[in-house]
């Protein structure tokens, strides 16, 4: 496993011979493009780390030209060093893409290419500590000279170089790959390369397996960082000799893995300017080949600036800029702010000292899992402290045997807020520890009460166990059977074919995190090509397995039959003139009993209720238009005859009712036409003089145009609706 301090030097040898430009065994891409899928995945993963110590080089095998330090010697022709060992940046990545294309020759020795790669690593790494690796990708259709292979093997072992050879259509019985009618030369070369890797204790495999495994996300190794180092105490060691004190360390056990965040960049008009000093990796060293002429515009990071303003009637615009140092902190208290000066700021802070104190114990069966407030951490004894390890082990075993948890107060650093955590014992075959999770304070608990599901309590206090809202025993049994048939805990199979968990945590990857990573790495190499679909391993748990659905089909049919589930006919497309009306429990039509007639006229004194009643009792478009016209006249009269702003409130109420009702009836055009006309009359003074205050009320209450977002029947865009509120 790599650590953050490891230095890496990797050389990729990519066979670009003419035979690699061919397609075999029904593949839609050439052998070279197929092999490059593996190369790009590995290189982009290295680039993404951004580590200067993660270096790599690329050697082209069977190239048209010859560019290497041994080109004057026999046997090293048609081998080119495309990328010397160094940290790879974005410009290097895209220049590699243009260089790795099929050549017009099949001449070039893979064994000689290995010698070039070994020399590159020896020259770059010298005697320093590096993790050295050579990866060869070839179809083994070229000639090979094996005279010095023993010396090469010796050098690889002496320099501790890891050798990986992946071949196009190489035979691998264990993976189920065998090429029929294989070319004799290729078969002989395969045996030579396989023998070489076995002697070097390297890896020899078929490219098919390597490409198939690209979709498996690689979990990033994270160096553990302690969140607390100190003593775990029970009692006060300064006051009591019998108090317990153990030197411990606390580390995260689970932590949310977040996807990479995007930064904001703009296209720089002149990258040479001094203001464009901060650039993305696309404009770093070597970007001269990737300038605008190559389709790669220089990018400059966006710098954010924040200003603070206060109201000042004498300043231009009524506001004046102030420095942040001139601001004072205040706490909102009702509708005012309480000022806290810097000298008194310590009053608001709770002075604490780093500590980890056990304050009590709780039986295991009394703790509710919903009390978890955080991710999980582990507490272990101080390393190299045998006394602390023995003491903590005793505490862990005591909690385990008594089936209890400990409750502790934790302050990770001085002046940090105290936390209450639960300590649970964990005993595994190879280690012991305490697991801790944060517990809530009283203010953190939301005590919502909901009605029970297994009984109904009437207004009189009587408890009913049989009710139309309570499932019968037959229905409950049918639901239990259906849930059991969808059980995933034993639906999977292990290597021996025995029942196992279908979704083990180690095989369940975050789709968002790895999908973003996949897209970023693809776009880095293919700036113009479409993004490929997500890997199957990221989406396979987004739906139940087909076999499980088939297994649960019979219990589901029984459940549907017992529950009397009926299909609701789809809502008819078109405008919904009629709306469901609330009916009394008796089922009687109150309007019909009282002999009420359908309303045809709206009175100004009771406009809103009568407008709603008129729309509820009609399905005719003409009647809806008539009601809208009457309401429009009433609203205009309320404004026209208003003394000051006395009638504006009723007008706004009527406008809001008209807007809501016509939107619900999918007739937003009637309202939009009226409110446009109303705006023109208000701004022109046609409703009893200057009524601009009424227009301000319309803007404040947001009763303007109905846009497409609010109603699909509207022809008004969101931009047009926002523009409507201006006074133009």
Q: Render pLDDT for 36-56 as a digit per residue (tens, 0 to 9).
A: 999 999 998 888 888 899 999
Q: Clarify whether residues 172 and 31 are in a common domain.
A: yes
Whether 298 has a pLDDT exceeding 90, the answer reads: no
Mean pLDDT value across the chain: 85
| pLDDT of amino acid 585 | 52
- Whether 561 maps to a domain, the answer reads no
Contact (CB, 8 A) for 157 and 198: no
Same domain flag for 100 and 152: yes
Averaged pLDDT for residues 18-43: 92
Which residues pair with residue 338 across a beta bridge? 331
Band the pLDDT of 2: cuts 50, 70, 90.
Answer: very low
Q: What is the DSSP string of 551-577?
A: HTHHHHHHHHHHHT--PPPPPPSS---
Dist CA 224 CA 239 (whole Å) = 35
Query: What domain range is 81 assigned to?
Result: 8-215
Give pLDDT, residue 264.
77
Torsion angle (degrees, nearest 10) of CA 388, 390, 391, 395: 130
Q: What is the pLDDT of residue 4?
A: 44
Residues 272 and 370 in one domain: no
**Closest to 714 measured CA to CA, from 657, 658, 672:** 672
Residues 6+ apart with CB under 8 A from 217: 509, 513, 514, 517, 537, 538
Q: Are residues 230 and 277 in the same domain?
A: no
The pair of three-digit structure tokens given for residue 54, joined into one six-digit string: 């993660």
Q: Would you say residue 677 lies in a domain?
A: yes
* Contact in structure between 488 and 502 (CB atoms under 8 Å): yes
Backbone conformation region of residue 480, classed left if phi is above 0, alpha if psi is from -120 to 50, else beta:
alpha
Determine, yes or no, domain membership for 312.
yes
* Residue range 343-364: mean pLDDT, rounded: 87
**Please, is 582 exposed, middle or buried when counting C-beta atoms within 10 Å of its C-beta (0-12, 13-18, 19+)?**
exposed
467 token code pair? 């009710």
- Residue 233 covered by a domain: yes
Cβ pair 198, 24 in contact under 8 A: no
Q: Assess whether 286 and 137 both reside in one domain.
A: no
Asked which of 215, 239, 255 is the last residue of a domain, the reply is 215
Sign of the Cα torsion 510, 512, 513, 515 reads positive
pLDDT digits (tens, 9 = 90+) for 588-639: 555 555 445 566 788 888 888 888 888 887 778 888 888 899 999 999 999 9
Residue that finishes a domain, picked among 447, 473, 493: 447
Q: Is the pLDDT of residue 587 over 60?
A: no
Residues 411 and 440 in one domain: yes
Give the pLDDT score at 584. Answer: 55
Place of tokens 């076995």: 198
Residue 570 confidence (pLDDT) above 60: no
Distance CA 189, CA 194 (A): 8
Residues 179, 67 share a domain: yes
Q: How many domains does the chain have?
A: 4
Domain contains 338: yes
Domain match, 697 and 645 both: yes
Q: Are residues 134 and 161 in the same domain?
A: yes
- Rounded to 5°, angle at Cα 356 from 355 and 360: 135
Q: Any idea what the CATH number is for the domain that residue 121 is in?
A: 3.40.50.410
Please list the alpha-helical segments (H only) found in 126-275: 149-158, 184-199, 207-212
**pTM check: above 0.85:** no
Same domain, 155 and 229: no
- Answer yes or no: is 441 within a domain: yes
CB 674 within 8 A of CB 661: no
Q: Are 28 and 87 in the same domain?
A: yes
Helices 607-616 and 621-640 meet at what angle, rounded to 10?
170
Residues 100, 515, 279: CA angle, nearest 5 degrees: 65
Please state, for a pLDDT cut of 70, what percent of the chain lies above it: 90
Angle at 279 between CA 278 and CA 283, to 5 degrees: 145
CA gap 228, 353 in Å, rounded: 12
Q: What is the CATH number of the domain that holds 307?
A: 2.40.290.10
Q: What distance separates the 2 farthest-apart alpha carbons in the chain? A: 112
Dist CA 600 CA 617 (whole Å): 10
């Amino acid at each position: 496993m790599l650590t953050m301090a490891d230095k890496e030097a990797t050389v990729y040898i990519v066979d670009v011979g003419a035979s690699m430009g061919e397609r075999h065994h029904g593949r839609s891409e050439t052998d070279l493009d197929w092999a490059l899928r593996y190369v790009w995945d590995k290189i982009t993963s290295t680039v993404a780390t951004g580590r200067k110590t993660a270096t790599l080089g690329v050697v082209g095998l069977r190239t048209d030209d010859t560019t290497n330090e041994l080109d004057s010697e026999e046997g090293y022709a048609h081998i080119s060093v495309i990328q010397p060992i160094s940290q790879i940046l974005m410009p290097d990545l895209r220049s590699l893409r243009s260089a790795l294309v099929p050549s017009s020759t099949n001449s070039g020795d893979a064994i000689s290419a290995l010698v070039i790669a070994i020399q590159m690593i020896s020259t770059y790494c010298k005697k320093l500590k590096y993790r050295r690796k050579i990866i060869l990708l070839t179809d083994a259709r070229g000639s090979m000279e094996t005279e010095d292979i023993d010396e090469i093997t010796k050098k690889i072992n002496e320099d501790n170089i890891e050798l990986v050879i992946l071949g196009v259509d190489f035979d691998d019985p264990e993976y189920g790959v065998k090429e029929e009618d294989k070319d004799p030369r290729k078969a002989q070369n395969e045996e030579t390369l396989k023998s070489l890797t076995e002697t070097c204790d390297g890896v020899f495999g078929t490219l098919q397996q390597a490409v198939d495994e690209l979709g498996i996300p690689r979990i990033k190794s994270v160096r553990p960082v302690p969140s607390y180092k100190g003593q775990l105490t029970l009692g006060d060691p300064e006051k009591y000799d019998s108090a317990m004190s153990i030197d411990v360390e606390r580390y995260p056990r689970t932590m949310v893995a977040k996807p990479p965040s995007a930064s904001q960049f703009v296209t720089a008009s002149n990258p040479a300017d001094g203001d464009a000093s901060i650039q993305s990796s696309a404009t770093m060293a070597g970007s001269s080949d990737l300038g605008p002429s190559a389709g790669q515009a220089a990018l400059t990071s966006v710098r954010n600036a924040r200003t603070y303003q206060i109201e000042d009637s004498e300043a231009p615009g009524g506001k004046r800029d102030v420095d942040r140092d001139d601001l004072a902190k205040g706490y909102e208290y009702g509708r005012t702010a309480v000022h806290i000066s810097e000298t008194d700021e310590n009053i608001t802070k709770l002075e604490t000292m780093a500590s980890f104190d056990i304050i009590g114990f709780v039986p295991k069966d009394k703790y509710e899992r919903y009390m978890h407030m955080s991710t999980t951490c582990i507490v272990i004894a101080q390393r190299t402290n045998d006394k602390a390890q023995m003491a903590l082990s005793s505490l862990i075993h005591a909690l385990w045997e008594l089936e209890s948890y400990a409750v502790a107060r934790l302050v990770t650093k001085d002046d940090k807020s105290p936390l209450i955590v639960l300590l649970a014992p964990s005993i595994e075959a190879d280690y012991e520890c305490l697991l801790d999770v944060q517990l809530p304070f009283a203010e953190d608990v939301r005590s919502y009460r909901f009605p029970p599901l297994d009984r109904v309590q009437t207004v009189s206090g009587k408890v009913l166990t049989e009710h139309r809202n309570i499932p019968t025993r037959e229905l409950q049994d049918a639901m239990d059977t259906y849930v059991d048939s969808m059980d995933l805990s034993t639906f999977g199979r292990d290597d021996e074919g025995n029942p196992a968990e279908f979704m083990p945590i180690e095989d369940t990857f975050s789709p968002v995190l790895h999908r973003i990573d996949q897209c970023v790495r693809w776009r880095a190499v293919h700036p113009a090509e479409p993004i490929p679909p997500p890997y199957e391993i990221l989406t396979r748990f987004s739906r139940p397995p087909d076999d499980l659905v088939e297994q649960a089909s019979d219990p589901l049919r029984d459940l549907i039959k017992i529950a009397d589930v009926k299909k609701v006919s789809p809502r008819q497309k078109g405008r919904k003139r009629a709306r469901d009306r609330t009916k009394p429990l008796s089922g009687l039509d109150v309007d019909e009993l009282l002999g009420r007639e359908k309303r045809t006229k709206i009175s100004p004194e009771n406009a809103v209720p009568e407008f709603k009643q008129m729309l509820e009792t009609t399905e005719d478009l003409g009647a809806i238009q008539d009601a809208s016209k009457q309401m429009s006249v009433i609203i205009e009269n309320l404004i026209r005859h208003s003394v000051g702003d006395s009638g504006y409130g009723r007008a706004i109420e009527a406008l809001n009712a008209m807007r809501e009702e016509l939107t619900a009836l999918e007739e937003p055009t009637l309202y939009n036409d009226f409110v446009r006309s109303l705006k023109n009359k208000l701004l022109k003074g046609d409703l009893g003089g200057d009524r601009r205050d009424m227009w301000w009320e319309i803007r404040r209450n947001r009763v303007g145009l109905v846009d497409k977002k609010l109603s699909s029947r509207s022809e008004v865009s969101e931009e047009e609706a926002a523009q409507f509120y201006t006074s133009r």
